[in-house]
Amino acid sequence: MVRTFIQDYLNALATFKIAFIHIRGLEVMAIAEIHMHKNPAILTENLTKRYGDLLAVDHISFQVNEGEIFGFLGPNGSGKTSTIRMLVGLSQPEEGRASILGYRLPAEITQAKRYVGVVLDASNLYDELSALDNLLFMARLYGVPRDEQKSRAYQLLKDFGLYERKDDRFGTFSRGMKRALTIAAALIHEPRLLFLDEPTTGLDAAAARSLRGLISRLREKGLTIFLTTHYLEEADLLCDRIAILVRGKIVKIDTPAGLKRLVQTQSLIEFSFARDVSALTGDLRRRLGGAEAAFLDESRVRIYGGDPPQIFDAVFQFSRDNGIGIEAASTIRPSLEDAFLRITGLSTVVMGTEKGGGKGKGGRQ
């Protein structure tokens, strides 16, 4: 009897140890899961904004993970800036919920702002102040300890390549330098999350390239960046994940590679015609069977899917029937531009238009 009791005890103890080890294993797995799936820096659910009868942001839901560059890609008027303004407390949503770094909006926006930097399209710095004085002013505004203000300002000026111009007035800077210093000012309080609203818009190619390099280096330091842009190349180069926004709605969220895979399984052929064929789009599409046609402009079209020999035959017949010459025809490797065309059906011409109607520069290099 005693031997049976001892054996039962040992069996129970063994079972406990196995269970304990199993539970510990689950704990380790849970911890691994936490590290694999980073905490959300931004979380939204059905976020909505109206301006009168205009539904600017239409019930959007998304998550931004800590340490990533998350891109909001879409043409002007798609709701990118309206979304940022709600997330940083500059406007109130009509519907939906959002949180920043765990702080509920708008109730806890004051607490959240201590850890957030914001760079909108208009600079908040002063033309009459020097670069250094602007940074020191922002440091005081953000409540940076007095004994750290100068050291942080000097370090940012060095990091952004502006140290030699520290005593020059902000008003004398080029547009690219102004944008760089404005970003530096948004980092003076060492935020965990940075909002950049179309940072390279209006910059020349060299300034845009330099600024993209700065943004990449900020990400390498662990900063979370929410980036809005209408430049496809910029989103492809910088972003870990991209949300494509059209008319206030998110139509797709994925990595740049994931978005490109949507069109990599199909043939992709581009045709350039000798003149405008925009009035004949219906005729061309009817000839393509199940293939899809996306017009890049009035005389260029990309055709996705279908049997390539049949596509060439159909397009050549279209050109003969309508008396329109073909200047070029080629098969191409899918890009983010192709994914955008496929997902939205929009011409990329709308993506090259700046705010105010001008043509883009910075994102074309």
Cβ neighbours around 253 below 10 Å, total = 17
User: What is the secondary structure of 148-171 as a DSSP string?
Assistant: HHHHHHHHHHHHTT-GGGTTSBGG
Average pLDDT over residues 102-128: 92
Cβ neighbours around 18 below 10 Å, total = 10
339: closest CA among 297, 299, 287, 302? 302
- In order of 80, 90, 101, 272, the CA distances from 104 in angstroms are 20, 15, 9, 51
Q: Give the number of residues written for the chain.
A: 365
pLDDT digits (tens, 9 = 90+) for 310-336: 999 999 999 999 999 999 998 877 788
Residues 6 or more apart whose CB falls under 8 angstroms from that of 208 comprise 176, 200, 234, 361, 362, 363, 365
Residue 344 confidence (pLDDT): 81
pLDDT digits (tens, 9 = 90+) for 60-76: 999 999 999 999 998 88
CATH number of 261-364: 3.30.70.100
Domain locations in the chain as residue ranges: 1-37, 40-254, 261-364
pLDDT band at 294 (very low <50, low <70, confident <90, very high): confident
Which is more confident, 290 or 161?
A: 161
311: closest CA among 288, 277, 344? 288
Average pLDDT over residues 16-25: 34
Q: Give the fold, CATH level 3, of 40-254.
A: Rossmann fold (3.40.50)
Angle made by CA atoms 120, 61, 98, in degrees to the nearest 5: 65
Average pLDDT over residues 298-321: 91
pTM for the model stands at: 0.72
Residues 6 or more apart whose CB falls under 8 angstroms from that of 3 comprise none
Which is more confident, 267 or 45?
A: 45
